[in-house]
């Protein structure tokens, strides 16, 4: 910008001083103006080069460092939240005879870190086996799969939940999903008594889902 202002001033000088002089004076004046402009241009480029080599790298480094500091703070916060959530899940496992207390601890854990491992699965078990609330249990297992799509155990639990409700098609569908996530889990269904009713009522489909 400063360079452009200087050039504008020089242009005004040309207009003001160029006209009204002899040809020789005009030629000499033009050479002087051109020389001065070239010199100023060289200075401007030199200053820009210095700024580029000194100021811009420092500015970039500062921005990068600020970004790294922000990421470090977020990571530290996430780790602390994860540790707190795990502690609450472990505490819930230690509670006996008080399902409401378990639910409260697990809800607190999930509020701190919704992705805490097995948090929603553990909550689903409490609703299913201790409260008899199959709808809430189903919601918990589905929530777990939203955060951990590769958790085949949550898919198995959904399949077993549907077997208990005699919803055979849904149960087979979730069995298939569990096997897709973890093919070696196919053998686990034979040893799981939760699937006895499915084997009795839809034995052919059961075998087909397991690839046999």
List pLDDT tens digits, range 124-172. 999 999 999 999 999 999 999 999 999 999 999 999 999 999 999 999 9
Q: Are 140 and 123 in contact (CB under 8 A)?
A: yes
Token pair, residue 120, equals: 């929603």
CATH of the domain at 101: 1.25.40
Instruction: Look at residue 141 in the predicted model and tell me its pLDDT.
Output: 98
**Is the domain of 103 the same as that of 162?**
no
Pull the structure tokens for residue 80: 């602390």
- 88 and 135: one domain? yes
Identify whether 171 is part of a domain: yes
Q: Does any domain span residue 5?
A: no
Check pLDDT > 70 for residue 193: yes
Between the CA of residue 9 and those of 4, 32, 104, 207, what are the distances in Å?
9, 14, 77, 91
> Which tens digit of pLDDT belongs to each residue from 69-87?
666 656 665 666 668 788 8
Same domain, 143 and 153: no
Work out the number of other CB atoms within 10 angstroms of the CB of residue 113: 21
- On the 0-12 / 13-18 / 19+ scale of CB atoms within 10 A, 164 is middle
Is 103 contained in some domain? Answer: yes
Contact 166, 146 (CB under 8 A): no
- The residue out of 110, 129, 148 marking a domain boundary is 148
The tens digit of pLDDT for each residue in 15-70 reads: 444 445 454 444 444 444 445 455 545 665 555 565 566 666 666 666 766 676 66
Looking at the structure, tell me whether residues 153 and 118 fall in a common domain. Answer: no
Q: Which among 148, 172, 199 is the end of a domain?
A: 148
Q: In terms of C-beta distances under 8 Å and separation of at least 24 residues, what long-range contacts does 2-5 make, across chains too?
A: 2/44, 3/40, 3/41, 3/44
| Distance between CA atoms of residues 71 and 95, nearest Å | 37
Q: Do 136 and 158 fall into the same domain?
A: no
Residue 47 falls inside a structural domain: no
- pLDDT, position 9: 45
Residue 32 vs residue 182, higher pLDDT = 182
Domain boundary among 99, 115, 148: 148
Is the pTM higher than 0.85?
Answer: no
Q: pLDDT tens across 101-110, in order?
A: 999 999 999 9
Q: Flag the least confident range among 80-84, 98-102, 193-197, 204-208.
A: 80-84
Tell me what the mean pLDDT of segment 87-113 comes to: 92
Question: What's the confidence (pLDDT) of residue 113?
Answer: 93
Q: Are 172 and 205 in contact (CB under 8 A)?
A: yes
Q: Is residue 32 part of a domain?
A: no
Question: What total number of domains does the chain contain?
Answer: 2
Compute how many other C-beta atoms are within 10 angstroms of the C-beta atom of residue 77: 10
Mean pLDDT of 84-105: 90
User: Which pLDDT score, from 0 to 100, does residue 84 have?
Assistant: 77
Domain of residue 97, residue span: 72-148
In a domain, 85, yes or no: yes
**The predicted structure's pLDDT at residue 211:** 86
């Amino acid at each position: 910008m400063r360079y452009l202002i200087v050039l504008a001033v020089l242009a005004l000088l040309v207009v003001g001083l160029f006209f009204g002089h002899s040809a020789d004076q005009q030629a000499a004046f033009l050479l002087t103006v051109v020389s001065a402009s070239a010199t100023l241009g060289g200075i401007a480029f030199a200053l820009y080069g210095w700024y580029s080599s000194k100021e811009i790298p420092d500015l970039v480094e500062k921005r990068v460092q600020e970004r790294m500091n922000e990421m470090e703070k977020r990571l530290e916060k996430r780790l602390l939240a994860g540790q707190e959530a795990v502690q609450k899940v472990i505490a819930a496992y230690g509670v006996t005879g008080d399902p409401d207390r378990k639910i409260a601890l697990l809800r607190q854990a999930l509020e701190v870190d919704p992705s805490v491992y097995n948090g929603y699965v553990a909550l689903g078990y409490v609703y299913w086996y201790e409260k008899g609330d199959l709808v809430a249990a189903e919601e918990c297992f589905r929530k777990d799969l939203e955060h951990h799509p590769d958790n085949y155990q949550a898919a198995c639990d959904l399949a077993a939940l549907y077997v208990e409700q005699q919803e055979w098609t849904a149960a087979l569908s979730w069995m298939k999903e569990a096997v897709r996530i973890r093919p070696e889990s196919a053998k686990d269904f034979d040893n799981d008594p939760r699937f006895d009713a499915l084997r009795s009522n839809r034995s052919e489909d059961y075998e087909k889902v397991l690839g046999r």
